[in-house]
Amino acid sequence: MVPMHKVRMAQWDRLRQLPAAYTQQLHELYDRDALPMDVRHYLSAWIEKQEWQRAARDHDFAMVLFQVLLENLDIQHSRFVQEESLLLQHNIRRYKQNFQKYLDEPCALANTILWFLGKEKEILQSADLAEQVQFLCVEPEAMETSSQRDLERKIAGLKNEVQCIEHTMLCLEEQQDEFDFKYQTHKMEAVVDEAVKKEQMKVLQLLVNRLNECRKSTLSDLSKCLDRTDDLIDILVKKELVEWQRRQQKACIGAPDNVCLDQLEKWFTCVAVCLFQVREFLGKLEELVGKVSYDNDPVKAQKPVLQRRADTLLKNLLKSSFVVETQPSMPQGKGPLVLRTNVQFSVKTRFLVKFPELNHSMKVDVSMDREAPQIKGYRRFNVLGTKIKALNMAESQSGGMVADFRHLTLKEQKSGGGGKGVSDISLSVTEELHIIYFNTVFELKGLSVELQASSLPVVIISNSSQQQSAWASVLWFNLLSLDTKDVLFFANSAAAPWLQFGEMLSWQFLAATKRGLNEAQLEMIAHRLFGKQQNYDTHKVPWSKFSKENTPDTFWVWFDGILVMVKTYLEDLWREGLIMGFVSKGKEKSLLKKKQRGTFLLRFSESVIGGITFSWVDTTITGEPDVKTVQPFTKVDLCQIPFHEIIRNFQILEAENIPENPLLYLYPNTPKDEAFGKYYSERSGSDSPYIKYIKTKLVFVSKENTLEARSPMSSDMAQGEGLEPMNGLSGEAAEQNGSPHPLQSPLETYQPDPMLSGSAAATEDDLLMYLNNPNLFVDSDLMQDELGLADFSLPGFSNCQPPQSCGSIFQ
């Protein structure tokens, strides 16, 4: 609703107070001589009080208003004479002379003023709507950036220009009808008097001259309109659409970029509508020339050139308007653009020129890369399923013209792979890129254009074990490649600058858990990749180091193992920032040693794939800080007991064999129960649903606290850094038949060392074992069989369900 003070304010005064974006529209509206802005300004009060609608129908009333208008101009001229405003005197005199052309057609003047007043109201309504939206704290997408605001102004200017040409065309047709009527009357009257005949011919000549000037002016306006349209299409296709495509690439690999097409659809449709109107104007000119023509008619010379130009611009716009809105993806895939043979996938195309009359009339056909690269072993595929669908407005929430393919599958051609090829390039299955094409035909108002859209390159696998490597290829391509049709990208893949690479890693966590990586976490990862450096900005990560097929110890295998574990078991804890995660052991030790006893932090293992551990600070007999670490937990543990319950129930034996939970404060100083309490099971102690599991777990610690706690990478603890894998016994111990023994976790690539080991020749007095009830066992009985297994571990027990697949992180 428009505020009351604005309702009472004169229309022209409201227009003058508008923001710059709408003032620009006003300037573009009055950028012509039909109604000069000076006249509108100085006679604003009088103009807004008159009944122009009545004057447009009533010739006599229109003549009265016309005479009053001229009188008001005379009054205004006299005022400027008194003020000695020479320029304004000159302008007002010229405007009055121009208005003389309405002497015989005062209704046309009324129509012109009425049209301008209507356009002013449209500008005011747009401004009022924008103000209301802003008041509701909703930002219009069209106003996100200054460049988009500028584009909005240009499109508004184009629409105004087309509407003005429409008005001009009506005036041109009226002039031609007037000339034709008088010319036909002249021929029928067969005047004999030469003087009268000569006078009539003079009048006819004036009319045809005026008609000729009007045609020239119209053609000039059309040419300028096409110039403006050309500039707009250049911005839409080469800037806005390209930027959207890049945002879509990044969004496919987890970036939080806006890929909504509604605003682009609005712009594309508006420009297309204007071009179709220009084509109609050109058709109307041809029709008028068919009725009345003369020597040196400008329409005959210029119309064909304008027609070809308008058609070319329209075709270029339409060809760029057909896009893939949602890239190919499988329902249970790791992310988009990884497809598996014989498994259904979906993809959605969209036509950005929205003409409701084309609903369900444009058929889209799907096909695979027809001109595959000539590489030995490069596979070829056929698309199966519902391959033809019509663009329609029913399958889009926003009402866009889309074809949503939901039941497509790929099948490898038997003769497609293993060909000779002409290139020595060798690509692995997950480095092979393929493109899916979509074809349709646009037909409307005599114009027919073939359109084609293409997907981003997809990686096609035949086994689920290839998903991790395939997703790494998708990440790498869309991070680095701006050429979305470069299927040979991995033949010579570029290295990734650290800043881009680190941002991409953060996107993975952001997409999976709604929380990305902070600077400290990224610095630890950079340290892992490049070693200790003053600055990592100039460093680059090569493809071979990130992920290369058949290489088990790549960075991506380690990072993805953590990501899947967090998404599957630790999402809530990660999202709340309770897990520090990416922190080196040296950094961890320096952080904890400065804190009070019982302070602990949660860290991802640097050597056990998909492992998480915690370390805490204790004090030695001499009062020195002593950092201890447990062996990493993997999905074998976490699928059976939540990590927060492990933290809640973790206990060790201290002096006098009294069980104690050493985890008191989450770093830096948050009480443990305050940090994790809301996740605890309502039942505790003997009623806990995890008590049976907890009772079977072994914890070995140093009785006198004389041994330094070691993480699975004990060699690195001494140095405070480093990332070497370790060898040794698995710490997965379970009580079976009264004798614990190690179990291998399916996610562990390397076997970790014991958590707390002082030497290989440790005596039974150095170590104690604690189950949930220490009275059930005698230390000496157990310890004789367990020398060298000084670990805290959580293996699965025999009746536990096997761990399930972690699934997609993009669900």
Q: Give the containing element (helix H, strand E) for 519.
A: helix 519-530
Contacts of 528 (CB under 8 A, 6+ apart): 555, 584, 606, 723
Is the CB of residue 249 less than 8 Å from the CB of residue 456?
A: yes
Model-level pTM?
Answer: 0.69
Q: Report the pLDDT averaged over residues 301-322.
A: 95
Q: CB 196: neighbour CB atoms within 10 A? A: 11
pLDDT at 696: 54
pLDDT at 366: 96
Contacts of 722 (CB under 8 A, 6+ apart): 713, 715, 716
Q: What are phi and psi of 761, to 5 degrees?
A: -105, 40
* SS3 (DSSP) at 174: helix
Pairing of strands 699-702, 732-736: unpaired
Round to whole Å and give the CA distance between 162 and 279: 11
Pairing of strands 459-461, 388-390: unpaired
pLDDT at 723: 33
Task: Check whether 180 has a pLDDT greater than 90.
Answer: no
Round to whole Å and give the CA distance between 636 and 643: 12
pLDDT in tens, 761-795: 333 333 233 333 333 333 333 333 333 323 333 33
Q: Report the pLDDT averaged over residues 59-69.
A: 89
Confidence category of residue 685, pLDDT binned at 50, 70, 90:
low
pLDDT at 789: 29
Residue 809 Cα distances to 42, 70, 181, 412, angstroms = 66, 74, 76, 27
pLDDT at 10: 82
Q: Give the containing element (helix H, strand E) for 400.
A: none
Task: Check whether 328 has a pLDDT greater than 80.
Answer: yes
**DSSP 8-class letter at 141:** G
- Round to the nearest angstrom and report the end-to-end CA distance of the chain: 42
Q: CB 567: neighbour CB atoms within 10 A? A: 21
Q: Report the pLDDT averaged over residues 119-123.
A: 84
Is the CB of residue 355 less than 8 Å from the CB of residue 445?
A: no
pLDDT in tens, 98-117: 888 888 888 988 988 988 88
Burial of 194 (0-12, 13-18, 19+ CB in 10 A): exposed
Higher pLDDT, residue 649 or 457? 457
Most confident of 244-248, 628-632, 706-710: 244-248
Task: Check whether 727 has a pLDDT greater than 80.
Answer: no
Nearest to 656 by CA among 707, 621, 704: 704
Around 422, how many Cα atoms within 13 Å sit in the side-chain half-sphere? 3
Nearest to 505 by CA among 484, 539, 479: 479
Round to whole Å and give the CA distance between 351 and 319: 10
pLDDT in tens, 475-509: 999 999 999 999 999 988 889 999 999 999 999 99
Is the CB of residue 546 less than 8 Å from the CB of residue 472?
A: yes
Q: Is the four-CA dihedral 21, 27, 29, 31 of positive or negative sign?
A: negative
Query: Which residue carries 């390397």 as its tokens?
Result: 750
Domains of the chain: 11-135 (1.10.532.10), 141-321 (1.20.1050.20), 330-413+427-494 (2.60.40.630), 580-709 (3.30.505.10)
Percentage of the chain surpassing pLDDT 70? 77
Round to whole Å and give the CA distance between 378 and 243: 31
Mean pLDDT of the chain: 78
Is the CB of residue 325 less than 8 Å from the CB of residue 402?
A: yes
Q: How many Å is the maximal CA-CA distance in the chain?
A: 142
SS percent in the chain: helix, strand, coil, step 5: 50, 15, 35
Round to whole Å and give the CA distance between 637 and 745: 9
CA dihedral 228, 233, 234, 236 (to 10 degrees): 130
Nearest to 748 by CA among 733, 735, 724, 731: 731
Is the CB of residue 369 less than 8 Å from the CB of residue 390?
A: no
Task: Check whether 725 has a pLDDT greater than 60.
Answer: no
Round to whole Å and give the CA distance between 382 and 414: 10
- Range name among 269-273, 555-559, 583-587, 682-686 with the lowest pLDDT average: 682-686
Q: Which two three-digit tokens encode residue 702? A: 């140093």
Task: Check whether 796 has a pLDDT greater than 60.
Answer: no
pLDDT in tens, 462-471: 988 899 999 9
Task: Check whether 395 has a pLDDT greater than 70.
Answer: yes
pLDDT at 714: 29
Task: Check whether 748 has a pLDDT greater than 90.
Answer: no
Residue 582 Cα distances to 89, 497, 519, 522, 528, angstroms = 77, 20, 10, 8, 10
pLDDT at 403: 93
pLDDT in tens, 525-550: 999 899 888 889 899 999 988 987 55
Contacts of 244 (CB under 8 A, 6+ apart): 259, 261, 264
Residues in the chain: 811
Burial 446-460 (b: 16+ CB within 10 A, else e): eeebebebbbbbbbb
Is the CB of residue 97 less than 8 Å from the CB of residue 74?
A: no
Percentage of the chain surpassing pLDDT 90? 36
Query: Which residue carries 């293996």 as its tokens?
Result: 795
Round to whole Å and give the CA distance between 61 and 55: 5
Nearest to 747 by CA among 634, 624, 623: 634
